[in-house]
Amino acid sequence: MEEQARVYGATIKTGEEVVSIEKIDNLFNVRTKTNLFLGRSVVLSTGSTYEKLNIPGESELLGASVHFCATCDGAFYRDREVIVIGGGNSALEEGIFLSGFTKKVKIVNRRATFKASQTYIDKLPELDNVETHYNKDAIALDIDPDGKFAGLRVKDSITGEEEVITADGVFIFVGLKPNNASFKGLVEMNERGFITTTGLAKTSINGIFAAGDNREGAIAQVAAATGEGVLASYGLREFLKN
Ligand SMILES: Cc1cc2nc3c(=O)[nH]c(=O)nc-3n(C[C@H](O)[C@H](O)[C@H](O)COP(=O)(O)OP(=O)(O)OC[C@H]3O[C@@H](n4cnc5c(N)ncnc54)[C@H](O)[C@@H]3O)c2cc1C
């Protein structure tokens, strides 16, 4: 993709973090920590970041036994056991998806109830390979002497008792944060900070477009983000023509 973009005249600047965007004399002034770029139009495609638990063992096991996307990595756990951490829609939706082909799904929730839609909550009792653990705070991911995941250490928020829940892998769904901090006040965003768009990836500011995971309603898959980039390019072309 990068090669193709260069063939059509794109210039790619790496190592540049955008800190602000301002419209001056019909040009968008895009400021990075070290440079200023001028453009008649801008596409914001800064993606989003999965929230981590920031507990011991997590960074060591990232991508090995710790995952953030069931559709991406779930297939590694066919007929094996997994732990799902979280209690919202993502945790339950992805947990239910994983239950379709794994041996067991253990959902670990730090609250006494789930925050997810009732439809997902009602579905759980119908699945005999799903187990729920309430009031459990994840405090560490244990690693065995071979460097492999050995279990999730949790603390009961009522009794204070600790236990280890075992499985082959862990999926963490405790939130997704859009990388939109530099654009606050520039374009409209929803209450979670995702950019709202209409039509051809248009934001609330004429000439600024948003594509990919930083946009409200994003599917969080490579193919979708790429497609939105194409959509934005059409919006951008229409804008520049006018
Ligand atoms: C561990 C993991 C596994 C995944 N596996 C799959 C998979 O198997 N299949 C699948 O379809 N999807 C997968 N995904 C999801 C997929 O990666 C995303 O949906 C996709 O990359 C989103 O594309 P994007 O362009 O919107 O954002 P990104 O790919 O996140 O790109 C955003 C870019 O913007 C940069 N950026 C952020 N802020 C600034 C700033 N202020 N200034 C300048 N640059 C900035 C970032 O450094 C990054 O390079 C996975 C995601 C993760 C985290």
- Phi and psi torsions of 192, nearest 5°: -95, 5
State the alpha helices, DSSP H only, in 115-205: 118-123
Residue 232's alpha-carbon distances to 139, 199, 208, in angstroms, are: 42, 9, 9
Strands 27-32 and 36-39: antiparallel
Q: Are residues 163 and 113 in the same domain?
A: yes
pLDDT at 197: 98
pLDDT at 1: 84
Among 28, 35, 179, 233, which residue has the most ligand 1 atoms within 8 Å of its CB, making it the best to mutate?
Answer: 179
- Give the mean pLDDT per block of 10 residues along the chain (242 residues): 93 95 96 96 96 96 94 96 96 97 98 95 96 97 96 97 97 95 96 96 97 94 94 96 94
Query: Does ligand 1 lie within 6 Å of residue 46's CB atom?
Result: yes
Q: Are residues 98 and 151 in the same domain?
A: yes
Find the CATH number of the domain harbouring 44: 3.50.50.60
Q: Are residues 134 and 189 in the same domain?
A: no
pLDDT at 220: 87
Q: Are residues 89 and 30 in the same domain?
A: no
Predicted TM-score of the model (pTM):
0.83
State the alpha helices, DSSP H only, in the chain: 2-7, 58-61, 70-73, 89-99, 118-123, 222-241
**Residue written as tokens 């090669």?**
3
**Residue written as tokens 């066919």?**
78
Separation between Cα atoms, residue 146 and residue 200, nearest integer Å = 50
Ligand 1 atom nearest residue 67's Cα: 1
| 230 Cα–ligand 1 center, Å | 16
User: Domain limits at 69?
Assistant: 52-172
Strands 42-44 and 27-32: unpaired
Q: Are residues 28 and 78 in the same domain?
A: no
**Dihedral sign, Cα of residue 33, residue 38, residue 42, residue 43:** negative
